[in-house]
Amino acid sequence: MSKSTDRLNRLFDRLERRIPSLAAGWLARLRRPGARWVRIPLGIVLVLGGIFSFLPVLGIWMLPLGLLLLAVDLIFLQGPVNTAVLRGSRWWTNWQRARRDKKRDRK
């Protein structure tokens, strides 16, 4: 396995720990090698749903999830998706920390 594949697997493992157990079970099934015929079309649908997030029911959350699913099979996506997820999670952590500190300073 390549370095980017290992990193992608670690990101999926972390995601599975953070989401509800029912969703984590589905994600684990989708990651199996035999689920490729489901994973690729689902990834494409999620990316398209994320692009059209301005419509009701669809949301921007669909885009990163679709890209993650596609990156399992499409090697050229693994590096950019890994980088985007790491930067996004770092940004999210910093934003939450700043928000918490701001709230604490108001008291």
The CA radius of gyration of the chain, in Å to the nearest whole number, is 16
First and final CA of the chain: distance in angstroms?
A: 50
Total of domains in the chain = 1
Chain position carrying tokens 């998706």:
81
pLDDT of residue 64: 86
pLDDT-derived band at 67 (thresholds 50, 70, 90) equals: very high
Residue span of the structural domain in which 97 resides:
3-106
Confidence of residue 107 (pLDDT cuts 50, 70, 90): low
In this prediction, residues 1-21 reach a mean pLDDT of 87
Quickly count: other Cβ atoms within 10 Å of residue 67's Cβ: 19
- The answer to whether residue 91 scores a pLDDT higher than 70 is yes
3-state secondary structure of 74: coil
Q: According to the model, what pLDDT value does residue 37 have?
A: 94
Q: What percent of the chain shows pLDDT beyond 70?
A: 98
